[in-house]
Amino acid sequence: MSLSIGFDTGLKSLLTAQAALQTIGNNIANANTPGFARQQVILGEAAPVTIAGLSFGTGVQVSEVRRMVDEAVEARLQSHRAVLSRLRVERAGMRQLETMVSGAGGTGLSSLLGKVFSSLSTLATHPEDKVGRTDVLANANTLAGTLRELQSQLRGFRRDAMIDVELRLAEANSISTQIAELNSQISTLKAKGVQAHGLADRRQALLNDLAQILDVTTIADANGSLRVLAAGRTIVSGKSHFDLELKQDSKGAPEIRVKGSSGALAAGQGAVAGLLKLGESTTPVIQKQLDSFAKSMALAFNRIHSTGMPQDGGFQSLQAFNTPEQGAAAAALPFSAAGFPFDVVQGKLFVNVQNSATGELSKFAVDVSPSDSLQQFANKIEALPHLSASIDSAGHLRITAASGYRFDFSPRIDPNPGATGGFGSTYAGVSSTGSEPYAVTDGSSLSVAVDGGSPQMITFSSGQFADISKATAEEIAAAINSQVTGATARVDHGRVVIASNTEGILSSIQIADGSGAPNAVLGFSTTLDTGTKVGASPTLSGSYTGAANDQWTFKADSDGTIGVTEGLTVGVYDAAGNRIATLEVGEGYSAGTKLLIKDGISVSFDAGEISATAGDAFDADVLAQSDTSDVLSALGMNAFFVGSSATDIEVRPDLLADPTLLAGSLSGAAGDGANLTRLLALQDLEMSEIGGSTLSESLTEMVSNLGFDGRRAGDLEKAQESLVADLSRQREEVSGVSMEEEMANLVRFQQAFDAAGRYIRVVQDATASLLDLIR
Amino acid sequence: MRVTQQILFDQALTGVRRHSEAVLLQQQQIASGRRWLHPSEDPTAAAQSLTARARRNALEGYTNAVMAVRDRVLAGADALQQLSGLLAEVKEAAVASQNTTLTDADRAVIAEQLDGILTQVVEIANHRDGFGYLFGGTSTETPYAFVQGKITYQGDDALQKVPIGDALQLATTVSGPQVFSRAARKASEFFGGITGAKPGTGTDSALNRSKLSVLHESTTYGDGTLLGGGDSASGLRPAASSPNGDTVIGPPGAHSIQIDEPSKTISLNGGPAVPFIGSETDLSVADGKGGIVRVNVSSLTSGFVGTVSIEATGSLSTDGGATRTTIGYSTNQIVVHGETKKITNINSTGIRYAGTEVVDHVGTTNLFEAIAGLRDDLRGYGEIPVAERQTTLRSRQREVERNLENVLVAISDLGARAKVAESAHERLTTVRDQISGVISNLEDTDLAEVVVNYNQSQLALQLAQAAGSRLMQTNFLAFLQ
């Protein structure tokens, strides 16, 4: 056996120990390098030699410098770091949103809303107090301003989030570029059979950084390069990389795309996902809630305010604040398509027209439908006595009362319903008892004898009716008026009343059925009715406290004189026909004395004669809400707030300029604060528009939901941090550098090196001894 | 398990970080005095706190309102206390005025005193606080005013009710009509009784006092067939002045006239015989009981001796004759005032004479009318029929007393409301304080607890830092060295 083999063996040992020491040194040097995985020298026995049939070992050799990595743990860690990154961004954003929405002490909007109601409560004690009115309006204006400011902050927050997304995408693109470059270098080296652990470590560090930004996965290629996918889309492949960009989809929503491709990346994990969620999901929900709150509040306040009256009473002229989206040009469009801030629904608007000199009030019900146009609505108002309506070039509706008249939309009771004829009037009169439509036949006739004169034949012919078999009360009245003299027919709450034009005891009316017996469906009393010196003149008073609108019908139960006839009563019926009160107005009743009916409404009668035989009756609308169509809110007529979202809500500017316009009254009296009380009741009103909550509850819900979401984000972040820490520990166990371990190995390989050196010396000495033998 | 320096370092750092966070949070709690600064730190408490704050805001609104209501109620009660004092003086004057020994000068002095009181009463009726008239209902900018010489209410009968609780409202004042003209109608009374008219069965709507005029319209004698309604048998005819001069009213037979042509005497209803010569066309014949007929005796049937039945029609009016109702001799006839449309029900069955009756619509005289009426009665004492003087003054006294009762009822009403307000204020304050306590529990830092926790966290932090530091110093390299 040659001694040179011994040299070889010793040299191999020296080189192996040196390589091990180099690896240890590298490990120690990179102990704190991000992404570094410790390396380990794997030793192997050198190939043996066979001499004389015997096999001899030839020492040690470095089989491999192994990079100690658990790929599964690495992948999991990368994935969970992306989750953690998203959660951290979300939690930080949630904290910012909380600070914005909840305000100082967590009570911003709620506190401001409370101040509005508190100032309303104070004003209700002295409705005529101008300072109190200013206080209410200032508090409401502050609330509206805060909503606008908050909405603006949220818009800014979303904008900032998108800017942040763009910055992070730029960073991701830069990292992708570097990874592609490293791929190229690694694959080149690998082709040459060189291990590129350092480059792999750098690439891993970059991947870790990328995972903070995007939801990335990797696929190892055979040539050593890594394919990087973000949300399933390849962004690095070999030495190529594909930049990402922030774009908007067809609806304007932001989305991330690979440059040059059309598909959007699904937001998964990473900071970008967190930012997108904050900007496009969390914040819009809050904005929507704020808008919903602002809209509901505006609608609720406007519903009440628009039906109230300013300090100096009804309106001589009133202009709508809102216009169709397309201005006057859209006045012919249905409300449902005209783009008003609030929906118009099928309902009624009650309009009061009052003679300023006499105080006489007329109440009219206007049917409103969402299919009506602004122009049609204006025409309906125009058709009311003493009112005119016009639409200006911008599309504002203006209602104007004739000189000497004022109008309002208050639900106040009409104190003198059915002023002439029909119920104990000084004018003789009879009313129909049948309900429209009336099935009258062509050519049928009715005899009307007025003031003792000869009977006048009223003939109904098809030409007078749209459909004579379904005649309306208005058509019947018009047909009678076109033929009768000395009397007038009118419609009172759906009934036809024929009354003599003469007042007093000489006044009389007598109806008789003629050919075709139309009275069988009309139901006029055929008993002679005579006028009286004193009318029963019912007077209603009080404020209706019922929950829903109703129509009460008052009918004489028998014939007699109020205050005189023993046992004389008047029955009161609701719209469903239920008798709700019996009023004793006979002997013992002092004319003019108020009799309470129910729900805050009283009635008094003058000492006239009433007749059940003549069908004496009158109706009264008792209103909880005088605009069931929301048309006033939609048009912004006598509104409290204008605008319908947190972006544009504000107190009506002219209210702020003139607090006397605050509609705190329902009667127009200076000290009447009935409408303030209705506004105040909004604090307890559960509104379907905000899920059955009150306004205050809605704000509490919004803030507490944000709090719970923030709390949940914080909890998730903590849980994720623990998970990442655990995975990091697992990675450290495999890839981390242990100084103790490295020190021990250092000593071990130092000793190995020393031993190899000694061995070589021994071989050298042996070789020298041999050489000495030769000399 | 391989333990690397990084693992040790991370673990030490995690511990230090956790304790630092706790110390920071506790520092914030101590510095701000609040348990949480962001709702996410305690979402449940934040939600409860917001709800409690909203409730406290509402209660504060009610508390402010109830104080304002109480102030206004007390202002009204103070004004009415003054009014009751004045009415007590009026009552004394009313009693004193019935003393029959008083001279006209004495009555004039009392009337002057009443005039001064009336001025003060009007001032009280128009009492204002800083916001409007207290007794104008909700029309707080319109006072009582003199309209055509009468003190007339310009306000309304509505009351401003202010919410002072979730389901509790309290009116801030009493309206003018409640204090000054609350009616408690009773059966009307007639002062004179000379006409035979009596209260009808119906219920009047007229107020205060009415003057019922029973007016003669026409008289017919016997069969009434002679021109102008004369009697064909006796030849007796009504004089031309009969419509305005006669005072008898009644159906046929209610009155009669006795004629003795031969002795040239004529008498009414068995009254004093009036002599005539036979050529008189307008002879006045009175029955000594208020009945007068003006007759034409120029065509009497020669030698006629006998009794002639009289039928005299008449009408009723409460507006001085402007609006007349023909007497129908029924138990209830409605007489309407042409202007006010107020009605007075009359039993006309016993009407026999024309004349004027004062109808007292008992219980309907307002406070101003009662004082002014008493004053005017004292000033016009001499014009009141002697028989009616005491009745008239007693009636005035009765109206003053009734109005004083109304005022006392109103004071009592306001007093009760003030008590309700006080009670509501106390309750609201208590509940508000309780809610403030709840809010404090939800929001405020329990300093003692936090300070203790802070100390513990600081200690834990120091220990974590020390342990970490020590751990970093202990390694194999140091051992090798």
pLDDT tens-digit profile of A260-318?
887 788 778 899 999 999 998 899 999 999 999 999 999 999 999 999 999 889 999 99
If you ran DSSP here, which 8-state letter would residue A682 be given? G
pLDDT score at B260: 95
Contact criterion met (CB below 8 Å) for A391 and A328: yes
Domain range enclosing A549: 427-622
Decide if pLDDT at A104 tops 60: no
Determine the average pLDDT of the residues in A454-471. 92
A271 is a domain residue: yes
Interface subset of A 511-570, CB within 8 angstroms of B: 533-534, 541, 543, 561, 563-564
Determine the average pLDDT of the residues in A411-426. 75
pLDDT tens-digit profile of A755-775?
999 999 998 898 888 888 877
Counting residues of chain A whose pLDDT is more than 90, the rounded percentage is: 57
- Put simply, the answer to whether A732 touches B2 (Cβ < 8 Å) is yes
On whether both A496 and A612 belong to a single domain, the answer is yes
Flag whether residue A730 sits within 8 Å of chain B, measured between CB atoms: no
A613 is a domain residue: yes
Q: Whole-angstrom Cα distance, residue A342 to residue A719?
A: 46
Contact criterion met (CB below 8 Å) for A49 and A5: yes
Q: Whole-angstrom Cα distance, residue B375 to residue B111?
A: 5
Query: Three-state SS for A314?
Result: coil
pLDDT tens-digit profile of A494-537?
778 898 988 877 888 999 998 888 998 888 888 888 777 777 88
Decide if pLDDT at B171 tops 70: yes
List CB contacts (< 8 A) between A714 and chain B.
40
Query: How are beta strands B292-296 and B283-286 bridged, if at all?
Result: antiparallel
Q: Which residue has the higher pLDDT, A108 or B123?
A: B123
Q: Beta-carbon neighbour count of residue B308 at 10 Å? A: 21
Chain A residue nearest residue B173, CA to CA: A125
- Put simply, the answer to whether B163 touches A680 (Cβ < 8 Å) is yes
Cα distance from N-terminal residue to C-terminal residue, chain A = 21
Q: Which of A121, A684, A706, A729 is the mutation pick for testing B, counting most B CBs within 10 A?
A: A121
List CB contacts (< 8 A) between A703 and chain B.
39, 46-47, 50
Mean per-residue pLDDT over chain B, rounded:
90
Determine the average pLDDT of the residues in A556-574. 92
pLDDT score at A148: 94
pLDDT tens-digit profile of A150-192?
999 999 999 999 999 999 999 999 999 999 999 999 999 988 8
Angstrom distances, CA of residue A600 to CA of A303, A309, A545, A580, A618: 22, 20, 6, 13, 19
Q: Which residue has the higher pLDDT, A361 or B238?
A: B238
pLDDT score at B480: 66
**Backbone Cα Rg of chain B:** 45
Containing H/E element for B253? strand B250-260
On whether both A26 and A88 belong to a single domain, the answer is no
- Put simply, the answer to whether B47 touches A700 (Cβ < 8 Å) is yes
- Put simply, the answer to whether A111 touches B40 (Cβ < 8 Å) is no
Decide if pLDDT at B110 tops 70: yes
pLDDT tens-digit profile of A606-629?
888 888 887 788 889 999 999 999
What does the angle CA B434 – CA B438 – CA B440 come to, to the nearest 5 degrees?
110
A427-431: strand order across its sheet? A427-431, A495-503, A487-492
Q: Whole-angstrom Cα distance, residue A253 to residue A246?
A: 10
Q: Which of A411, A441, A464 is the last residue of a domain?
A: A411
Q: Which residue has the higher pLDDT, B143 or A640?
A: A640
Q: Which residue has the higher pLDDT, A231 or B427?
A: B427
Q: Whole-angstrom Cα distance, residue A739 to residue A24?
A: 10
Mean per-residue pLDDT over chain A, rounded:
90
Q: Whole-angstrom Cα distance, residue A689 to residue A621?
A: 27
Decide if pLDDT at A412 tops 90: yes
Locate B476 and state its tokens.
């194999």
**In which band, very low, low, confident or very high, does the pLDDT at A85 lie, cut at 50, 70 and 90?**
very high
pLDDT score at B476: 66
- Rounded to the nearest angstrom, the gap between the alpha carbon of residue A551 and the centroid of all alpha carbons in its chain is 35
- Put simply, the answer to whether A669 touches B64 (Cβ < 8 Å) is no
Highest mean pLDDT range out of B30-44, B145-159, B170-184, B296-310? B296-310
Closest CB to B2: pick one of A105, A706, A738. Answer: A738
pLDDT tens-digit profile of A120-144?
999 999 998 999 999 999 999 999 9
Flag whether residue A243 sits within 8 Å of chain B, measured between CB atoms: no
Decide if pLDDT at B274 tops 80: yes
Angstrom distances, CA of residue A675 to CA of A400, A412, A662, B164: 23, 10, 10, 16
Distance from the Cα of A173 to chain B's closest Cα (Å) equals 30
pLDDT score at A418: 63
Q: What is the CATH number of domain B55-184+397-430?
A: 1.20.1330.10
- Put simply, the answer to whether B480 touches A110 (Cβ < 8 Å) is no
Count of domains observed in chain A: 4
Flag whether residue A98 sits within 8 Å of chain B, measured between CB atoms: yes
A557 is a domain residue: yes
pLDDT tens-digit profile of A741-759?
888 888 999 999 999 999 9
Contact criterion met (CB below 8 Å) for A380 and A366: yes
Flag whether residue A284 sits within 8 Å of chain B, measured between CB atoms: no
Distance from the Cα of B65 to chain A's closest Cα (Å) equals 5
A729 is a domain residue: no
pLDDT score at A105: 45
- Put simply, the answer to whether B185 touches A122 (Cβ < 8 Å) is no
Flag whether residue A688 sits within 8 Å of chain B, measured between CB atoms: no
pLDDT score at B477: 66
Residue type, A217: T
Candidates B137, B298, B291; CA nearest to B226 is: B298
Q: Which of A580, A597, A622 is the last residue of a domain?
A: A622
On whether both A544 and A433 belong to a single domain, the answer is yes
Decide if pLDDT at A24 tops 50: yes
- Put simply, the answer to whether A733 touches B140 (Cβ < 8 Å) is no
**In which band, very low, low, confident or very high, does the pLDDT at B479 lie, cut at 50, 70 and 90?**
low
Cα distance from N-terminal residue to C-terminal residue, chain B = 26
pLDDT score at B229: 92
Task: Indicate the domain borders of chain B.
Answer: 55-184+397-430, 189-361
- Put simply, the answer to whether A110 touches B54 (Cβ < 8 Å) is yes
Q: Which of A583, A598, A622 is the last residue of a domain?
A: A622
- Put simply, the answer to whether B4 touches A533 (Cβ < 8 Å) is no
Residue A143 has phi, psi (to 5 degrees) of -60, -45
Determine the average pLDDT of the residues in B120-133. 90
Candidates B171, B170, B162, B163; CA nearest to B135 is: B171
Candidates A714, A706, A726; CA nearest to A87 is: A714
Decide if pLDDT at A39 tops 70: yes
Contact criterion met (CB below 8 Å) for A433 and A495: yes
Question: Can you list the positions of beta strands (E) in B318-402?
Answer: 325-326, 333-336, 343-347, 355-360
Q: Whole-angstrom Cα distance, residue A102 to residue A546?
A: 38
**In which band, very low, low, confident or very high, does the pLDDT at A106 lie, cut at 50, 70 and 90?**
very low
Q: Whole-angstrom Cα distance, residue B27 to residue B33?
A: 10
Distance from the Cα of B459 to chain A's closest Cα (Å) equals 23
Determine the average pLDDT of the residues in A70-80. 88
List CB contacts (< 8 A) between A592 and chain B.
205
- Rounded to the nearest angstrom, the gap between the alpha carbon of residue A91 and the centroid of all alpha carbons in its chain is 24
Q: What is the predicted ipTM?
A: 0.82
pLDDT score at B474: 66
Q: Hey, CA dihedral for B95, B402, B320, B250, is it positive or negative?
A: negative
Going by C-beta distance under 8 Å and a sequence separation of 6 or more, which residues neighbour residue A428? A451, A499, A500, A502, A507, A508, A509, A529, A530, A531
Decide if pLDDT at B343 tops 90: no
- Put simply, the answer to whether B65 touches A122 (Cβ < 8 Å) is yes
pLDDT score at A491: 81
